[in-house]
Amino acid sequence: MKIDVVPEKLGSPINYSVLLLIGAIVVIFHIVVNISEDSDALIYGFSMIIPATVSVFAFITARRYSGTLVYSRAYKMLGIAFLIMFSAELTYFVYEQILELEPYPSIADVFFFVFYPMLILYLIINIRFFAPQITKIGIITIVGTPLVITFVYLYLSLSDFGSFDFYYGIIFVAAASTTLGFSIHTARIFRGGLIGTAWLVLVIGIILDVVGDTWYYYIEINEGYTLENPVNLFWYSSYLLILYSLYKHKKSL
Amino acid sequence: MDNLLAPSLRKSIEVNLGKSTLNKIEQRLMERHGMGVAQAIKDFYKFDSVLREFFGAGADGLETKFLQNIIDLKQQKKVTDSWVTIKDQDLAKIFLESFADEDKKAIIGTVLDESLIIADILQNCKVPQTSGYRKINQLIDDGLLISNGYEIATDGKKIKKYETIFDNIKMDIEKNIVVVKIQLKKNSFQESTILQMIPN
C-alpha cells in the first residue's frame, strides 16, 4: 500500500520528457518543411497556431483568476501579447501570400514590436507585487542584459553600419533583450519557490526568443530570411516553452 | 493584534492572488502545521515559511503588500509610540461599530486599564448578562479584547481575564473614509509577529 507522506518541501520539477517532446516537434517540423515541396502553408499555419494557443491558454488562466488584482491582470497582458504575436504572423502571411508584397519591413513589424512591451507589462505586474523594491542585482540584470546583448548584436552587424536593417534590428534586439532582463529578474525573485520552476522555464523560453530575434535581424542584414530558415526553430520552441511554463504555473497555484 | 489582522490578511490574499491560490496555501498549512490561514497568520513565521515554499523571495513583497492594504506602513515607520493607522475599511468598521454600540463601548472602557474576568466586566459596566456575554464574545472574536492572565476561583478553577489590545484610539472620517489610529498596549505590539515583520 502506498503511504501518503507529506513532503518536506513542495516541488515542481521540470518534466524533461516535455522538453524532449518540444525539441522533437520543432526539429521534425523543420525537417518536414525542408523536404516537402510546398511547405509555406505548413509554416504559416504552425507560426500562427502556436501564439494563438498560448494566447487562449493565458486568457483561460486569467479567467480562472478572474477579479484578482495580480494574476488576472498579468495573464490578460500575456494573452494580449500573444494575440498581438498572432496578428503579426497573420499580417506577415497576408503581405507575402495574398498581397504578394515584401513583408519585411511592413505593418507586421509594429505587431512584432508591440509584443515585447506587453510581455514586459506581464513581468512588471508580477515584479511590482512580489518585489516592489528592486535590489542592486536586480537593476544590474534589468539594465545590463539588454546592454550586453544589444552590444553583441552591434558588434556582429557592424559591417552593415548605417543601413536601414542595422538600425531596425537594434530596436527589436533591444526590446527582446530588455524582456529577457526583466524575466531573469523575475525568475530570481521566485527562485527556490514552487512557482520558481515555471519562471525558469519561461526565462529559457524568452532566451530562445531573443536568440531567434538576434539571429533573424542578423540574417536580414546578411543573406535574407526564408521561411525554411532554422531560426524558426528558436521561435517555435520559445513559444512552446512559454506555454509549458504557463501550464506549470497554473498547476502550481 | 494578530487576531485582529488575520481576517483582513486572508481577504488580501484572495483579492490579489485568487481563491485557488488561497486554497493551495491553506492546504499546505494544514499538511505541514495542522492549522488554517487564520491561525497561521497569528504564528506568522509558519505562515511566512509556507509562503516562501510557494513564492521564494516573492513572499517578502507579498507580506509587505498585505500589510500595506491594512496598515499605513509609512506612518508606522515614523511613529515610535505604538500608534498603528488602520487602512482596511472592514477593520476600521469593526472599531467604529464597537464604539457606536453603547454596551460594547462600556465593556471596552471597563477593561481599558485593567484586565478583568467576564463576570466582573459585566458587573462593572452594568450590562445585562445575556447580551453582555454575547457582546464580549463578539469583541473577543473581532480581536479587540484579548485574554491576559487568569484569576483563580474559589473552587480552584482558572478563569480567563480580558483586556483591550489598545490604550488609546482616534477615529476620523475623511471624505467618507474611516481612519482609525490605535495606540497599542506595549505587550500587544511586542507579541504581534505580523507587526514585527514590518521592514525598517
pLDDT tens track for A71-105 = 999 999 999 999 999 999 999 999 999 999 988 88
Is A19 a member of any domain? no
In DSSP terms, which residues pair with B163 in a beta bridge? B146
pLDDT tens track for A135-175 = 999 999 999 999 999 999 999 888 888 888 888 889 999 99
Is A4 a member of any domain? no
Residue contact B32–A6, C-beta within 8 A = yes
Is A29 a member of any domain? no
Q: Is B37 exposed, middle or buried (0-12, 13-18, 19+ CB in 10 A)?
A: buried
Q: What does the angle CA A166 – CA A169 – CA A171 come to, to the nearest 5 degrees?
A: 115
* pLDDT at residue A228 tops 90: no
Residue contact B18–A71, C-beta within 8 A = yes
**Mind listing the domains of chain B with CATH numbers?**
2-75 (no CATH), 91-166 (1.10.10.10)
Q: Which helix (H) or strand (E) holds A89?
A: helix A71-93
Give the percent of chain A with pLDDT over 70. 98
Domain count for chain A, please give it. Answer: 1
Residue contact B20–A190, C-beta within 8 A = no
* pLDDT at residue A233 tops 70: yes
ipTM of the complex: 0.84
* pLDDT at residue A3 tops 90: no
Is A13 a member of any domain? no
Is A6 a member of any domain? no
* pLDDT at residue B200 tops 60: no
Q: Which three cell numbers stand for residue A234?
A: 528558436
Is A23 a member of any domain? no
User: For B58, which of A10, A133, A190 is closest by C-beta distance?
Assistant: A190
User: For A70, which of B17, B24, B59 is closest by C-beta distance?
Assistant: B17
In DSSP terms, which residues pair with A84 in a beta bridge? none
* pLDDT at residue B6 tops 90: no
- What domain range includes position A96? 38-252
Q: What does the angle CA B11 – CA B58 – CA B56 come to, to the nearest 5 degrees?
A: 115
- CB of B106 within 8 Å of a chain A CB? The answer is no
Which phi and psi (to 5°) does residue B149 adopt? 90, 180
Is A21 a member of any domain? no
Contact residues, chain B, for A68 at CB < 8 Å: 14-18
pLDDT tens track for B124-168 = 988 888 899 999 999 998 889 988 889 888 888 899 999 999 999
Residue contact A193–B32, C-beta within 8 A = no
Structure letter (DSSP) for residue B71: B
Is A194 a member of any domain? yes
